[in-house]
Amino acid sequence: MTGTDIERAILLLRSGELVAIPTETVYGLAANAFDASAVTKIYKTKNRPQFNPLIIHTNSIEKLKGWGLSIPEKMSQLVNHFSPGPLTYIIPKSNQIPEIVTAGTPAVAVRIPQHSLTLQLLSKLDFPLAAPSANPSGYISPTSAKHVEQQLGNKIPYILDGGDCQVGVESTIISFLNMTPEILRHGGLSVEKIGAVIGPVNDKVNTSGKEITTDNPVAPGMLAKHYAPKKQLLHGDIHKLLEGKDLSRITLITFSTIYEKVPLNHQLVLSPAGNLDEAAQKLFAAMRKADEMDIDYILAEIFPDKELGKAINDRLKRAAY
Ligand code: TXA
Ligand code: MG
């Protein structure tokens, strides 16, 4: 069932059930993070590997402190600028955070999402919500309640409908476990903006496309292949990718360019005005739309390698792997 009833969501979460929640990035599949059996349901419902830890969501830093977590100085600076917002912080865990949430690692991921409905919900809870993106493991993250309904609707009791996600790609992940902060995932907050507040960061995002495994646990969830549509997606120079292809059997995902040879209804132009924020917001819905068309290939452009373009290219590259 889908609706906007916060009280219903609270009752379900308190009794150990799952609720899909809207955030500014993507929809999350939430459970009481302090209830290990509720968290187990997340892994089962998503078919998520047990080694992949979850982000906990709350509405305030004071609550995090109350749960035994200490906040590094540079994290505080970022919190002041960007939380609530599309940024996730990795810090040493406390005893109160169950092992199942962190997949046995000594660190926990925390985030304050920027969404009025979910902030209202979180403000009424005295526990954090563990929530991965609300998609079956490996598929594209959902950016609307309808996306969640299509794939998980019959597996969860409630989807809290907060409309279309305004950022549209997952949060940026920054780790404070080493001296210099490390970027583990490009996402909804640009590395440029982070650097402007706290100075240099190490960008640890795997750019070689090499598979990250449990032996290489820097960011356990950042598998080389991820976020993939069912159709084959190719990521590169469109003119080259078009060579030898039947133009009626492909769909393009582009930034702002229109390609003359290709039928217009097979071109998903993410931002005719050339705005990377707008392109990020529309990316996952476009991938889903292309996936539903009667075609053989999805061809996606390489976006400008800056600001949210980094997150867009990252998701496309993993979809193409
Ligand atoms: O925008 C978002 O972050 C969304 C919304 C729902 O908040 N959530 C999300 O969760 O994208 P998920 O589970 O799909 O991705 C979380 C990523 C995974 O790659 C996971 O491996 C990583 O965060 N992660 C979580 N806890 C971690 C930890 N303790 N150490 C390192 N990486 C961690
Ligand atoms: Mg995910």
Residues 76-119: pLDDT tens digits? 999 999 999 999 999 999 999 999 999 999 999 999 999 999 99
For ligand 1, is residue 102 a contact (CB within 6 Å)? yes
Structure tokens at 15: 């009794």
Ligand nearest, relative to CA of residue 177? 1
For ligand 1, is residue 28 a contact (CB within 6 Å)? yes
Q: Where are the alpha helices (DSSP H) in 161-304?
A: 191-198, 238-242, 276-292
Q: Residues 168, 172, 178, CA angle at the centre, nearest 5°?
A: 170
What is the helix, strand, coil percentage profile of the chain, to 5? 35, 15, 50
Instruction: Give the rounded distance of the alpha carbon of 288 from its chain centre.
Output: 15
Going by pLDDT thresholds of 50, 70 and 90, the confidence category of residue 227 is confident
Strands 19-21 and 129-130 turn out to be unpaired
Per-residue burial over 259-268, b = 16 or more CB atoms within 10 Å of its CB, e = otherwise: beebeeebbb
Ligand nearest, relative to CA of residue 108? 1
The pLDDT score that the predictor gives to residue 212 is 43
Residue 28 CA, closest ligand 1 atom number:
6
What would the pLDDT profile of 123-134 be if each residue is shown by its tens digit? Answer: 999 999 999 999
The pLDDT score that the predictor gives to residue 225 is 65
Distance separating alpha carbons of residues 321 and 317, to the nearest angstrom: 6
Distance separating alpha carbons of residues 54 and 79, to the nearest angstrom: 20
Contact 85, 189 (CB under 8 A): yes
Global confidence as pTM = 0.95
For ligand 1, is residue 87 a contact (CB within 6 Å)? no
What does residue 175 show for φ and ψ, rounded to 5 degrees? -105, 135
Q: From ligand 2's centre to the CA of 9, what distance in Å?
A: 21
Percent of all residues in the chain with a pLDDT value above 90, rounded to a whole number: 93
Instruction: Give the N- to C-terminal CA distance of the chain in Å, as an integer.
Output: 34
Give the closest residue (by CA) to ligand 1 atom 3. Answer: 171
Amino acid letter, 91: I
Please name which of 112, 131, 132, 110 lies closest in space to residue 122, comparing C-alpha atoms.
112
Residue 25 CA, closest ligand 1 atom number:
1
Within 10 Å of residue 203's Cβ, how many Cβ atoms?
Answer: 13
What would the pLDDT profile of 9-55 be if each residue is shown by its tens digit? Answer: 999 999 999 999 999 999 999 999 999 999 999 999 999 999 999 99
Contact 172, 109 (CB under 8 A): no
Structure tokens at 166: 């305004």
6 pLDDT above the threshold of 50: yes
Residue 135 CA, closest ligand 1 atom number:
14
Q: From ligand 2's centre to the CA of 270, what distance in Å?
A: 22
Contact 252, 300 (CB under 8 A): yes
Mean pLDDT of the chain: 94
Ligand nearest, relative to CA of residue 170? 1
